[in-house]
């Protein structure tokens, strides 16, 4: 990803962040894995119990879980911007919160919100539809807003290649994938 000063930004995920994942819309935290027996034990936050999976099945079906800080980088928006639109109902289903042991004045648990790839892409679509409406009725995306392929590449740590135009701007250059 290239930031405003045309510097490449790489998000480093901590080992703890890598332990969270989504399967079928539910948030899990990896407790133990044994590749030899193809077994993965995880805590399900929605059901509040331990679940056992086939490790290879999780590798195929799981989506990564991202913190709000990472989603802000993906969408090039501030945390305040994201939280405001999230509270206003931008998403059909709110990303779950991982409790961190405390409660608010209103007796609500607080913690870190975890976003699945589906949540991030849905928020991306929300921002695309909130752009400036032009005279011909089309909607222009907000300034400095990444396109869908860039967001997916950032989430999956794929490479995005940029070419510099004669006027000094960087534009993404895509290469077709070989599916054979």
More confident residue, 111 or 36: 36
H-helix or E-strand containing 73? Answer: helix 68-75
Each residue's pLDDT tens digit, 149-178 = 888 888 887 666 677 888 887 776 655 444
Name beta bridge partners: 52: 41
Neighbours of 72 (CB within 10 A): 17
- If you average pLDDT over residues 43-54, what whole number do you get? 93
Structure tokens at 51: 């679940």
Domain boundaries of the chain, sorted by first residue? 17-63, 65-99+108-180
Name beta bridge partners: 92: none
Q: Using the Cα atoms of residue 56, residue 21, residue 116 and residue 96 in order, give the sign of their dihedral.
A: positive
Q: Return d(Cα 144, Cα 146) in angstroms, integer.
A: 7
Name beta bridge partners: 16: none
Average pLDDT, whole number, for the chain?
82
Structure tokens at 41: 């034990």
More confident residue, 40 or 2: 40
Tell me: pLDDT of 136 over 50: yes
- This prediction has a pTM of 0.76
Name beta bridge partners: 29: 20, 43
- If you average pLDDT over residues 43-72, what whole number do you get? 93
Each residue's pLDDT tens digit, 12-27 = 778 888 899 999 999 9
Neighbours of 85 (CB within 10 A): 16
């Amino acid at each position: 990803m290239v930031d405003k000063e045309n510097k490449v930004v790489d998000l480093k995920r901590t080992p703890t962040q890598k332990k969270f994942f989504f399967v079928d819309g539910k948030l899990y935290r990896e407790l133990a894995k044994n590749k030899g027996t193809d077994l993965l034990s995880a805590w399900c936050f929605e059901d509040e119990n331990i679940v056992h999976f086939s490790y290879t099945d999780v590798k195929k079906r799981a989506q990564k879980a991202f913190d709000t800080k990472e989603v802000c980088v993906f969408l090039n928006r501030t945390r305040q911007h994201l939280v405001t639109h999230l509270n206003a109902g931008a998403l059909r289903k709110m990303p779950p919160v991982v409790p961190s042991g405390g409660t608010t004045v209103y007796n609500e648990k607080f913690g870190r919100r975890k976003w699945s790839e589906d949540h991030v892409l849905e928020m991306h679509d929300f921002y695309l539809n909130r752009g400036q409406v032009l005279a011909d009725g089309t909607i222009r995306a907000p300034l400095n807003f990444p396109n869908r392929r860039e967001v997916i590449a950032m989430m999956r740590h794929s490479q995005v290649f940029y070419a510099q135009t004669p006027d000094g701007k960087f534009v993404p250059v895509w290469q077709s994938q070989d599916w054979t």
